[in-house]
C-alpha cells in the first residue's frame, strides 16, 4: 500500500469513528467516558514507560521525530480528562491578595470588569471570568462589564450565562441593569481608558443590548473611576493590563487586580510588587486557585490535571533532550552568541 | 518636519491641561483609528490583487488563492449587507465568526503547545551557564505552578516546596530582570522617539 | 444548523491540526479559508467601528432621545474631519501619481506615536519602576496593630534576601544594557551577573508560556472531545 | 503641591471622622431601643444633614471640573444606618438649584465635570432617609480654574528634560567630531554578514516587522532598521520579501525601501510587490509567513518588532529551513524563544539602539550615550534611595528619611 493510500485510510477511519461517536452522542447511547482510579494509574504508568523508552532511544543518539513528540503531547493532554484523580492545589500570595481585596469590599460595591481577550485565549481566561463573576454576584458586588477587545463583550456574555446558571446565583433573582451590566466594546485601546477616567458615559453611551447608559440604574451614577470600588482586568495582550495600569492606576488611582494569560503574567509581577496591581491570577492555575479560595470549583479545576500532565511531559522532554546533549559531549555548537 | 512638530506637541500635551492640549490624546486615537480603517482598503485590495493574479496566471496553488477570494467575499458581503446590526447573534456574519473564525484562530493558537514541546526537546540545551539558568528557572516555574510540584516536594518543610520556590523566583529575580528590561526599554524608547522628533532618524521615510 | 456548525468547526480544527503531520491539502484549504475570512472580518469590523461608528456618527450625530422622549442633539465633532482627511490622503496611494502624498499622514502618525509613547513609557516604565525599587532592605518602622506602639520591625530573612536580589538584579541588569563601555573587567563581570538575571527572567517567561500554550490546547481538546463528540463530562 | 494638599485634607478628614465616630456612637447608643426596630413605616425617620460641604477647584484641568467634598450625615455609616442616599444639587450662575447626581450612602466626594469657565456654580448636598431628607448649607458660588501647567508632573518633566538634554548634548558633541565609544552589539555586527550570505546563496531575505501597527514604537524601530538593511540590500542584487499584517505598515515599508533604493541609485530595482499585506489576523498572518518560509527558503530572516505568540512558530520554522535568523523585540515573554531558536537576539533596549548603531553616524550614536546617562541616573537614584531608606529606617535618621521622601515624591507619577 502506498503512503498516500495509508494516509487516506487513516483519515477515513477517523472520520467514520467520529461520525459513530457523534451519532452516539446525539442518540444518547454513548455517554461520557471515565477511567476508574485503577485504570488511571495504569495509564499513568504507561505514559511513564513511554517516556523511559524515549529517553533510551534519544541517549542512543536517535533524535525522535517531531511527530512522535506531537503525538505524545496529545495523549498526555487528552487522557487526564478521563481520569478520576484529585490533586491538592496551593494558593499563591498574589491570588490571596486578590481574594482579600474582594473580601474587603462591602456589599453593593461597584466592580468594573474589563474583558480584553478573544476566543483563542478563552481556555485560560474564561474559567477566571466565570468564577470571578460568580463570586461577585454571590457576594452582592455590582458588576460593570466592558471590553477593549471587540470580542470581549461576547466572551463576557458567555461567562455571565455560566455564572447566572449557578443555582445559588439564581436564587438571588438578580436583574440586568441593577446588579450587573454589560457596556459592550469600545475601540481606541488605552485612550478609552483615559477618557473613562474623565467620563465613562462618553465612551459607552449605550450598553451591549442597546439601552442608553443613563437608563441603567446601576451605572446612572457612575461618572468615572472615582465611583468604581475595584476593577478587574482579564487580559490576553494589547490593550490589556499594562495599559490599564499605566493609565487607570497610575493616572487616576483606580484600585485594580488582573487576570492574565500565563504568558503575560510574569510581566505583571513587577506591577504587583510595585503596588500598582492588587492581586493577580496567572493562567489556568491562577483560575484554579481562585476557584479553591472562593469555594466555587469550575473549569479551572477541571482542566488542572491535564495541565499538570502537560507540564510534566514538557519537563521530561527538556530533561531527555539535555541528557542526550550532555552525554554526546556537546558536539553541535550552534552559530552566534551561543546562548 | 511634520513628524517633528507633531511629536513635540504630543510630548507637551502631557504637561499642559489647557485646551486644546487636553483633547489631543483623544483626537489622536480617533484619527488613528480612522486612518487605519481607510488604510485597510489598501491592504485588502493588495491581498485580492495578488490572489487574483495567481488565479488568472494559473500559478501554483491558484485554487487556494481562489478559496481566499471566495471566503473573503463570503464574510464581507453579509458584513456590509447586514447594515449596522451585522454582527448580532443569528446573522450569517456571526455564524461565520463563531464556527469558522473562532475555531481556526484558537486551533492555530493551540498547536503552539506542540511546538513548545518539540522546541523544549530539541532547542533548549544547557549549553552554558546562562542557558542552564534559563532552564532551571523554567523548571521551578513549570513545576511550581502545578500541584504536582508540591506533591513531589512534600517532604520539604512548608515554605521550601516547589510552589514557594516558584513564587520566590517570580517575585524576586524575575521581577528584577523584568525591571531592568523595562527601564532599558523606556530609555531606548525615549531616545528613539527623540531621534525621530528631531529628524535625525529619517530612515522610516527614506533618506539616511 | 447546529449540527452543521459543530461539524464545520471540527473540520477546520482538524485541518489545522493535520499540519503537525505534514503540509497537506486539508491544511492548505483551512489556511486559505482562514486568511480570507480573517482579512474580510477585519475589513468589515474596521469599517463599521471606525469609519461608520467613529467618523460618520461623530460628524453627523444621529438624533437621540432621552428618557422623557426629548430629542438630544449633539454637536458634530469637526475634529474628526482631520482624521478622514489623513485617511483619504493615505488612499492617494491607489493613484500612483499621487502616491507621495501618503507620506504626510505617515509622518503625522510616526510623529504622534513617538511623542505620545515617549512620555507614557517614561512615566510608567522608568519613573514608577525606579520608585518601586527604592525600599528599605532590612526593616521599617510600623505601628504594631496589637499594641498600637510604633516600633522597628525587621523583615524576615526571606524578604531581606528577596529585596537584595531585586536591588542587585535591577542594578546589574542595567549595567548589561550600558552601551558606552566594553564588557570587560569588573564592569564585564557585573554585566555578566546582569545577564544571569535576564536569563532567569526569560526562563520564568518560558515556563509560563508553556503553561499558557498547554491551557489553550486543553481548551481545544475540550471542544473536540466534549462539545463535538461528547466524551467528556 | 498636591501631595501636601491631599495630606492636609486627609488629616482634616481623619479629625472629622473621629468626631463623627464619637457623635455617632452616642447616637447609636440612643437609638438602640426596641422602638427603633419595630419602627412603624409611617413614622418619619429623621436624619441629620451632611456638613462641611466644600468646593475646590479640580487641579490641572482645562477649567472643566470642580471637586465637592462633605462630611456624611451622622446617621450614615452606623449599622443599619438610616441614610439611603445623597443627592447633589447644583445652581448655575445663581439660578435655581437642580438635582445633579444621586449617590450611595457613605459618599463624601463628587467630581463635577464638563463645566464651563466663567460660569458660577454653587452646590448643596441632600441626605435622604426612607421618607425624609435633610439638606446642607449651600456653598458660595465659584468658577473652575484653568491651569497652564500640570504642576504634579513637573518632576517628570524635569527628569525627561534632563535625559533629553543629555541626548542633545552627546549628539552635538558627536557632530563636533568627538570620538564616542559604543560597545559592540553582536546581533547587529552580524547584519551585513547575514545579508552577504543571502547574496552568496542567491536566496531572498525575509523581513518580518512584528504584528503591531504603526502606532507602536517597536514597529517604528523595525521600520527604521529596515531603512538600513534595505540600503545595504540595494547594493547587492537580492530579493527582499516582506509580508506584513497591517496596511499602514505596508505603506510605510514600501516608502522606506523605495527611498533606500533611490539613495543607492537603483530606483529601477525597486518594486511594490516586495511588501505584501496578508491579513490583520495574527495567526492567519503566521500561517501565510510559514508558507512563504517553507516554499521560498530565504537565506536570512529578520524578526524585528513587536511579537506575541507567533514568535515561536516563526523562529522554529525559520530554524527548520536553516536560515540565519536575527531577532529582536521588547516583549520579554517572547525573548526566550528567540534566544533558543535564532542566531542573534536583540534584547529590549538593544532593538531601539539598533538603528542608531547600524547607521554608524556619530550623531545617532550620540543618542545612545544619552540613553546611558538615563540608566546611570536610574542606578544612582536606586542606590542612594535604598541606602537612605534602609539606614533611615534602621537607625531612625531623619534626614535620610527625608531624602527617601524626596526621591519617592520626585519619581511618583500620579
Whether C178 sits inside 8 A of D375 (CB atoms) is yes
Whether B185 sits inside 8 A of D282 (CB atoms) is no
How distant is the Cα of A135 from the closest Cα of chain C, in angstroms? 23
Query: A292 and A192 share a domain?
Result: yes
Of A120, A314, A322, the CB nearest to B109: A120
Whether D333 sits inside 8 A of A199 (CB atoms) is no
Based on the structure, what is the number of domains in chain A?
A: 3
Region class of D93: left (phi > 0), else alpha (psi between -120 and 50), else beta: left
Is the Cβ–Cβ distance between D256 and D227 less than 8 Å?
Answer: yes
pLDDT of res. B113: 87
How distant is the Cα of C154 from the closest Cα of chain D, in angstroms? 9
Q: Please, what's the largest Cα pairwise distance for chain A? A: 74
Whether D414 sits inside 8 A of A253 (CB atoms) is yes
Q: Of B114-123, D112-121, D379-388, where does the model show the most confidence?
A: D379-388
Region class of B206: left (phi > 0), else alpha (psi between -120 and 50), else beta: left
Of A30, A81, A187, the CB nearest to C232: A81
Q: Which residues of B touch A308 (CB under 8 A)?
A: 146-148
Query: D184 and D244 share a domain?
Result: yes
Asked if C135 reaches chain B (Cβ–Cβ under 8 Å), the answer is no
How distant is the Cα of D284 from the closest Cα of chain C, in angstroms? 5
Is A56 a member of any domain? Answer: yes
How distant is the Cα of D107 from the closest Cα of chain A, in angstroms? 9
Query: Are β-strands D85-92 and C150-154 bridged in parallel, bridged antiparallel, or unpaired?
Result: unpaired
Q: What is the pLDDT of residues D284-303, one digit of tens each?
A: 888 888 888 887 899 999 99
Order of all β-strands in the sheet with D66-71: D51-57, D66-71, D109-112
Q: Which of D219, D364, D393, D414 should one mutate to test binding to chain C, selecting the residue with the greatest count of C CBs within 10 A? A: D393
Whether C213 sits inside 8 A of B67 (CB atoms) is no
Whether D186 sits inside 8 A of A337 (CB atoms) is yes
Q: Is B147 a residue whose pLDDT tops 80?
A: no
Query: Are β-strands C71-72 and C139-143 bridged in parallel, bridged antiparallel, or unpaired?
Result: unpaired
Query: D261 and D340 share a domain?
Result: yes
Is D287 a member of any domain? Answer: yes
Whether A266 sits inside 8 A of B135 (CB atoms) is no
Is the Cβ–Cβ distance between D296 and D289 less than 8 Å?
Answer: no
Of D276, D348, D378, the CB nearest to B46: D276
What is the helix (H) or strand (E) element at residue C128, kind and residue range? helix C128-133
A259: nearest Cα among A116, A159, A161, A109? A116
Output phi, psi for D85, to 5 deg.
165, 170
Whether D156 sits inside 8 A of C127 (CB atoms) is yes
Q: Give the domain CATH number at D85.
A: 2.60.40.10
Cell readout for B124 is: 533548549
Q: Of A169-178, C65-74, D168-177, where does the model show the most confidence?
A: A169-178
pLDDT of res. D38: 41
Cell readout for A25 is: 452522542
Q: Is A180 a residue whose pLDDT tops 50?
A: yes
Is the Cβ–Cβ distance between A258 and A244 less than 8 Å?
Answer: yes
Q: Which residues of B touch C223 (CB under 8 A)?
A: 103, 106
Is A338 a member of any domain? Answer: no
C211: nearest Cα among A310, A8, D209, A125? A310
* Domain with D107 in it: 43-148
Q: Is D5 a residue whose pLDDT tops 60?
A: no
Is A136 a member of any domain? Answer: yes
A264: nearest Cα among C191, C45, B170? B170
Q: What is the pLDDT of residues D362-385, one digit of tens each?
A: 878 888 888 888 889 889 999 998
Whether C134 sits inside 8 A of D389 (CB atoms) is yes
Q: What is the pLDDT of residues C28-77, one digit of tens each?
A: 899 899 989 989 988 988 888 788 877 887 788 776 655 555 666 667 77
Q: Which residues of C touch B67 (CB under 8 A)?
A: 29, 32-33, 36
pLDDT of res. D29: 40
Q: At D207, is the secondary structure helix, strand, or coil?
A: strand
Whether A67 sits inside 8 A of C50 (CB atoms) is no
Is D323 a member of any domain? Answer: yes
Cell readout for A134 is: 460568580
Q: Is D39 a residue whose pLDDT tops 50?
A: no
pLDDT of res. D232: 87
pLDDT of res. C68: 56
Q: Which residues of A touch B146 (CB under 8 A)?
A: 285, 304, 307-308, 311
Whether B147 sits inside 8 A of A122 (CB atoms) is no
Q: What is the pLDDT of residues B56-104, one digit of tens each?
A: 988 888 899 999 999 999 999 988 887 777 766 678 888 888 888 888 8
Whether C8 sits inside 8 A of B134 (CB atoms) is no
Output phi, psi for B106, to 5 deg.
-70, -30
Q: Give the domain CATH number at D212.
A: 3.40.50
- What's the mean per-residue pLDDT of chain A? 85
Predicted model pTM: 0.77
Q: Over pLDDT 90: what percentage of chain B?
A: 9
Q: What is the pLDDT of residues A92-135, one digit of tens each?
A: 888 999 999 999 998 889 999 999 998 878 888 999 999 999 99
Q: Over pLDDT 90: what percentage of chain C?
A: 14
Asked if C42 reaches chain B (Cβ–Cβ under 8 Å), the answer is yes
Asked if C155 reaches chain B (Cβ–Cβ under 8 Å), the answer is no
Q: At D160, is the secondary structure helix, strand, or coil?
A: helix
Query: A100 and A160 share a domain?
Result: yes
Output phi, psi for C154, to 5 deg.
-75, 145
Query: A110 and A184 share a domain?
Result: yes
Query: Are β-strands D240-244 and D205-210 bridged in parallel, bridged antiparallel, or unpaired?
Result: parallel
Asked if D369 reaches chain B (Cβ–Cβ under 8 Å), the answer is no
Q: At C123, is the secondary structure helix, strand, or coil?
A: helix
D253: nearest Cα among B174, A281, B74, B43? B43
Q: Over pLDDT 70: what percentage of chain B?
A: 85
Query: A177 and A317 share a domain?
Result: no
Query: A257 and A198 share a domain?
Result: yes
Query: D206 and D289 share a domain?
Result: yes
Cell readout for B11 is: 510630548
How distant is the Cα of A107 from the closest Cα of chain B, in angstroms? 32
What are the residues facing D303 on neighbouring strands?
A: D208, D327
D305: nearest Cα among D204, D187, D248, D220? D220
pLDDT of res. D7: 47
Of C40, C51, C121, the CB nearest to B185: C121
* Domain with A223 in it: 93-297
Of B26, B116, B122, the CB nearest to A321: B122
Output phi, psi for A83, to 5 deg.
-85, 150
Query: A131 and A272 share a domain?
Result: yes
Q: Which residues of C touch A283 (CB under 8 A)?
A: 208, 211-212, 215
Cell readout for B111 is: 498547536
Query: D308 and D190 share a domain?
Result: yes
Cell readout for B144 is: 511550581
Asked if D343 reaches chain A (Cβ–Cβ under 8 Å), the answer is yes
Of D214, D339, D412, the CB nearest to C113: D214
Asked if A104 reaches chain B (Cβ–Cβ under 8 Å), the answer is no
Is the Cβ–Cβ distance between A273 and A246 less than 8 Å?
Answer: no
Is D141 a member of any domain? Answer: yes
Non-local (6+) Cβ contacts of A6 within 8 A are none
pLDDT of res. B72: 93
Going through D186-284 in order, the beta strands assigned E by DSSP cover 205-210, 240-244, 275-277
Query: Measured between alpha carbons, how far is B130 from D75 in angstroms, rounded to an integer?
Result: 64
Domain limits, chain B: 1-59, 126-201
- How far CA A241 is from CA of A141, A238, A249, A282, B190, in Å, comes to 22, 8, 10, 12, 22
Q: Of A152-161, C115-124, D90-99, where does the model show the most confidence?
A: A152-161
Based on the structure, what is the number of domains in chain D?
A: 3
How distant is the Cα of B148 from the closest Cα of chain D, in angstroms? 24
- How far CA A193 is from CA of A213, A224, A252, A254, in Å, comes to 17, 10, 10, 11
Q: Which residues of B touch D215 (CB under 8 A)?
A: 32
Q: Please, what's the largest Cα pairwise distance for chain D? A: 98
Q: Is A304 a residue whose pLDDT tops 60?
A: yes
Q: What is the pLDDT of residues D127-148, one digit of tens each?
A: 888 778 888 888 888 887 776 6
Closest residue on chain C to A246 (Cα)? C124
Q: Which residues of B touch D352 (CB under 8 A)?
A: 185, 188-189, 191-192
Q: What is the ipTM of this complex?
A: 0.77
How distant is the Cα of C217 from the closest Cα of chain A, in angstroms? 8
Residue count (chain A)? 339
Non-local (6+) Cβ contacts of B188 within 8 A are D330, D348, D349, D350, D351, D352, D353, D371
Query: A170 and A60 share a domain?
Result: no
Output phi, psi for D87, to 5 deg.
-130, 135
Query: D227 and D369 share a domain?
Result: no
pLDDT of res. B52: 92
Query: Measured between alpha carbons, how far is A9 from A17 in angstroms, rounded to an integer?
Result: 12
Query: Measured between alpha carbons, how far is B33 from B35 in angstroms, rounded to an integer?
Result: 5
Query: Measured between alpha carbons, how far is C24 from D277 in angstroms, rounded to an integer?
Result: 24
- What's the mean per-residue pLDDT of chain B? 80
* D23 — pLDDT class (breaks 50, 70, 90): very low
The upper half-sphere exposure of residue B41, i.e. CA atoms within 13 Å in the direction of its Cβ, equals 15
pLDDT of res. D148: 67
C79: nearest Cα among C103, C115, C54? C54
What are the residues facing C141 on neighbouring strands?
A: C152
Q: At B32, is the secondary structure helix, strand, or coil?
A: helix
Whether C135 sits inside 8 A of D374 (CB atoms) is no
Asked if D332 reaches chain B (Cβ–Cβ under 8 Å), the answer is yes
Examine residue A239 and say whether the peptide bond preceding it is cis (omega within 30 degrees of 0). Answer: yes
Asked if A259 reaches chain C (Cβ–Cβ under 8 Å), the answer is no
Q: Is D231 a residue whose pLDDT tops 80?
A: yes
Query: Measured between alpha carbons, how far is D223 from A187 in angstroms, rounded to an integer?
Result: 25
Q: Is D243 a residue whose pLDDT tops 90?
A: yes
pLDDT of res. C209: 80
Query: A26 and A38 share a domain?
Result: no
Amino acid at each position: 500500500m502506498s503512503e498516500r493510500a495509508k494516509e487516506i485510510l487513516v483519515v477515513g477511519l477517523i472520520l467514520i469513528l467520529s461520525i459513530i461517536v457523534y451519532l452516539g452522542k446525539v442518540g444518547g447511547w454513548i455517554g461520557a467516558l471515565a477511567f476508574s482510579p485503577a485504570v488511571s494509574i495504569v495509564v499513568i504508568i504507561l505514559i511513564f514507560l513511554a517516556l523511559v523508552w524515549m529517553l533510551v532511544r534519544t541517549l542512543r543518539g536517535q533524535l525522535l521525530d517531531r511527530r512522535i513528540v506531537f503525538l505524545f503531547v496529545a495523549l498526555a493532554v487528552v487522557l487526564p480528562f478521563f481520569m478520576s484523580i484529585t490533586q491538592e492545589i496551593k494558593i499563591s500570595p498574589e491570588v490571596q491578595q486578590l481574594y482579600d481585596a474582594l473580601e474587603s469590599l462591602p456589599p453593593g460595591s461597584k466592580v468594573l470588569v474589563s474583558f480584553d481577550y478573544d476566543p483563542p485565549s478563552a481556555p485560560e481566561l474564561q474559567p477566571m471570568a466565570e468564577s470571578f463573576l460568580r463570586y461577585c454576584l454571590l457576594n452582592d458586588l455590582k458588576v460593570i462589564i466592558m471590553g477593549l477587545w471587540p470580542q470581549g463583550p461576547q466572551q463576557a456574555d458567555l461567562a455571565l450565562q455560566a455564572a447566572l446558571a449557578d443555582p445559588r446565583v439564581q436564587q438571588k433573582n438578580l436583574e440586568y441593569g441593577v446588579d450587573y451590566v454589560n457596556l459592550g466594546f469600545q475601540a481606541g485601546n488605552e485612550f478609552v481608558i483615559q477618557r473613562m477616567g474623565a467620563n465613562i458615559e462618553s465612551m459607552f453611551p449605550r450598553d451591549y443590548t442597546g439601552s442608553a447608559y443613563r437608563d441603567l440604574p446601576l451605572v446612572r451614577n457612575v461618572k468615572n473611576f472615582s465611583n468604581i470600588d475595584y476593577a478587574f482586568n482579564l487580559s490576553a495582550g494589547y490593550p490589556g493590563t499594562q495599559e490599564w495600569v499605566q493609565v487607570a492606576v497610575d493616572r487616576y488611582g483606580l484600585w485594580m487586580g488582573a487576570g492574565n494569560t500565563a504568558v503575560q503574567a510574569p510581566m505583571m509581577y513587577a506591577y504587583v510588587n510595585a503596588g500598582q496591581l492588587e492581586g493577580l491570577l496567572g493562567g489556568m492555575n491562577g483560575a484554579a486557585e481562585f476557584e479553591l479560595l472562593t469555594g466555587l470549583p469550575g473549569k479551572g479545576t477541571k482542566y488542572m490535571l491535564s495541565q499538570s500532565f502537560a507540564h510534566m511531559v514538557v519537563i521530561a522532554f527538556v530533561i531527555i533532550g539535555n541528557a542526550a546533549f550532555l552525554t554526546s559531549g556537546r558536539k553541535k555548537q550552534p552559530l552566534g552568541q551561543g546562548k | 518636519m511634520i513628524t517633528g512638530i507633531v511629536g513635540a506637541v504630543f510630548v507637551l500635551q502631557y504637561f499642559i491641561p489647557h485646551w486644546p492640549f487636553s483633547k489631543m490624546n483623544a483626537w489622536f486615537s480617533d484619527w488613528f483609528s480612522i486612518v487605519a480603517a481607510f488604510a485597510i482598503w489598501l491592504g485588502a485590495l493588495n491581498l485580492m490583487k495578488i490572489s487574483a493574479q495567481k488565479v488568472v496566471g494559473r500559478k501554483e496553488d491558484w485554487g487556494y488563492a481562489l478559496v481566499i477570494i471566495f471566503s473573503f467575499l463570503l464574510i464581507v458581503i453579509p458584513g456590509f449587507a447586514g447594515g449596522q446590526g451585522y454582527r448580532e447573534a443569528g446573522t450569517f456574519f456571526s455564524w461565520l465568526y463563531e464556527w469558522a473564525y473562532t475555531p481556526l484562530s484558537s486551533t492555530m493558537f493551540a498547536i503552539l503547545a506542540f511546538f513548545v514541546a518539540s522546541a523544549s526537546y530539541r532547542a533548549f540545551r544547557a549549553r552554558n551557564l546562562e542557558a542552564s539558568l534559563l532552564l532551571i528557572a523554567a523548571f521551578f516555574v513549570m513545576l511550581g505552578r502545578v500541584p504536582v510540584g508540591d506533591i513531589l516536594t512534600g517532604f520539604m518543610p512548608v515554605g521550601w516546596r516547589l510552589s514557594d520556590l516558584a513564587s520566590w523566583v517570580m517575585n524576586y529575580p524575575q521581577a528584577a530582570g523584568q525591571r531592568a528590561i523595562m527601564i532599558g526599554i523606556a530609555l531606548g524608547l525615549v531616545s528613539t522617539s527623540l531621534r525621530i522628533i528631531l529628524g535625525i532618524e529619517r530612515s522610516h521615510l527614506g533618506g539616511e | 444548523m447546529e449540527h452543521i456548525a459543530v461539524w464545520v468547526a471540527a473540520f477546520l480544527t482538524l485541518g489545522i491540526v493535520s499540519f503537525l503531520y505534514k503540509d497537506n491539502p486539508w491544511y492548505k484549504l483551512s489556511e486559505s479559508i482562514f486568511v480570507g475570512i480573517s482579512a474580510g472580518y477585519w475589513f468589515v469590523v474596521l469599517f463599521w467601528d471606525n469609519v461608520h461608528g467613529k467618523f460618520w456618527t461623530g460628524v453627523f450625530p444621529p438624533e437621540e432621545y432621552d428618557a422623557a422622549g426629548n430629542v438630544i442633539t449633539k454637536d458634530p465633532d469637526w475634529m474628526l474631519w482631520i482624521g478622514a482627511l489623513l485617511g483619504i490622503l493615505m488612499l492617494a496611494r491607489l493613484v500612483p501619481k499621487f502616491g507621495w502624498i501618503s507620506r504626510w499622514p505617515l509622518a503625522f502618525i510616526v510623529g504622534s506615536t513617538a511623542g505620545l509613547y515617549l512620555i507614557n513609557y517614561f512615566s510608567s516604565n522608568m519613573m514608577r519602576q525606579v520608585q518601586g525599587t527604592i525600599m528599605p532592605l532590612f526593616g521599617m518602622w510600623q505601628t504594631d496593630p496589637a499594641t498600637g506602639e510604633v516600633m522597628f520591625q525587621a523583615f524576615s530573612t526571606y524578604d531581606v534576601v528577596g529585596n537584595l536580589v531585586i536591588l542587585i538584579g535591577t542594578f546589574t541588569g542595567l549595567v548589561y544594557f550600558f552601551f558606552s563601555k566594553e564588557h570587560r573587567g569588573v564592569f564585564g563581570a557585573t554585566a555578566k551577573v546582569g545577564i544571569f538575571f535576564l536569563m532567569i527572567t526569560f526562563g520564568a517567561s518560558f515556563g509560563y508560556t508553556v503553561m499558557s500554550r498547554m491551557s489553550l490546547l486543553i481548551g481545544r481538546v475540550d471542544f473536540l472531545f466534549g462539545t463535538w463528540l461528547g466524551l467528556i463530562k | 503641591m498636591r501631595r501636601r494638599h491631599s495630606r492636609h485634607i486627609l488629616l482634616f478628614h481623619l479629625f472629622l471622622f473621629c468626631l463623627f465616630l464619637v457623635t455617632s456612637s452616642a447616637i447609636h447608643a440612643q437609638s438602640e431601643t426596641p422602638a427603633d426596630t419595630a419602627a412603624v413605616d409611617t413614622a418619619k425617620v429623621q436624619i441629620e444633614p451632611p456638613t462641611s460641604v466644600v468646593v475646590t477647584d479640580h487641579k490641572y484641568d482645562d477649567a472643566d471640573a470642580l471637586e465637592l467634598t462633605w462630611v456624611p450625615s451622622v446617621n450614615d455609616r452606623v449599622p443599619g444606618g438610616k441614610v439611603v442616599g445623597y443627592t447633589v444639587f447644583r445652581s448655575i450662575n445663581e439660578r435655581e438649584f437642580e438635582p445633579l447626581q444621586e449617590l450611595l450612602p457613605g459618599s463624601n466626594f463628587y467630581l463635577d465635570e464638563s463645566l464651563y469657565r466663567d460660569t458660577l456654580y454653587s452646590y448643596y448636598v441632600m441626605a435622604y432617609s426612607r421618607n425624609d431628607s435633610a439638606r446642607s448649607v449651600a456653598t458660595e458660588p465659584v468658577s473652575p480654574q484653568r491651569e497652564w501647567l500640570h504642576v504634579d508632573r513637573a518632576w517628570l518633566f524635569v527628569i525627561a528634560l534632563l535625559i533629553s538634554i543629555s541626548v542633545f548634548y552627546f549628539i552635538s558633541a558627536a557632530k563636533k567630531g568627538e570620538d564616542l565609544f559604543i560597545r559592540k552589539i553582536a546581533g547587529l555586527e552580524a547584519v551585513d554578514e547575514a545579508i552577504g550570505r543571502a547574496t552568496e546563496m542567491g536566496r531572498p531575505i525575509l523581513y518580518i516587522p512584528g504584528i503591531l501597527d504603526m502606532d507602536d514604537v517597536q514597529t517604528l524601530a523595525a521600520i527604521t532598521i529596515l531603512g538600513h538593511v534595505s540600503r545595504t540590500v540595494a547594493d547587492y542584487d537580492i530579493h527582499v520579501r516582506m509580508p506584513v499584517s497591517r496596511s499602514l505598515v505596508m505603506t510605510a515599508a514600501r516608502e522606506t525601501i523605495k527611498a533606500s533604493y533611490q539613495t543607492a541609485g537603483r530606483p529601477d530595482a525597486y518594486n511594490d510587490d516586495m511588501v505584501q499585506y496578508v491579513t490583520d489576523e495574527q495567526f492567519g498572518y503566521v500561517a501565510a509567513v510559514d508558507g512563504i518560509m517553507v516554499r521560498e527558503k530565504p537565506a536570512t530572516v529578520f524578526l524585528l518588532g513587536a511579537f506575541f505568540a507567533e514568535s515561536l512558530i516563526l523562529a522554529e520554522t525559520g530554524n527548520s529551513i536553516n536560515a540565519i535568523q536575527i531577532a529582536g523585540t521588547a516583549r520579554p515573554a517572547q525573548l526566550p524563544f528567540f534566544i533558543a531558536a535564532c542566531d542573534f537576539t536583540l534584547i529590549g533596549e538593544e532593538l531601539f539602539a539598533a538603528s542608531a548603531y547600524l547607521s554608524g553616524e556619530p550623531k545617532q550614536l550620540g543618542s545612545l550615550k544619552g540613553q546611558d546617562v538615563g540608566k546611570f541616573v536610574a542606578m544612582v537614584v536606586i542606590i542612594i534611595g535604598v541606602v537612605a531608606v534602609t539606614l533611615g529606617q534602621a537607625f531612625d535618621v531623619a534626614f535620610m528619611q527625608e531624602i527617601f521622601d524626596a526621591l519617592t515624591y520626585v519619581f511618583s507619577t500620579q
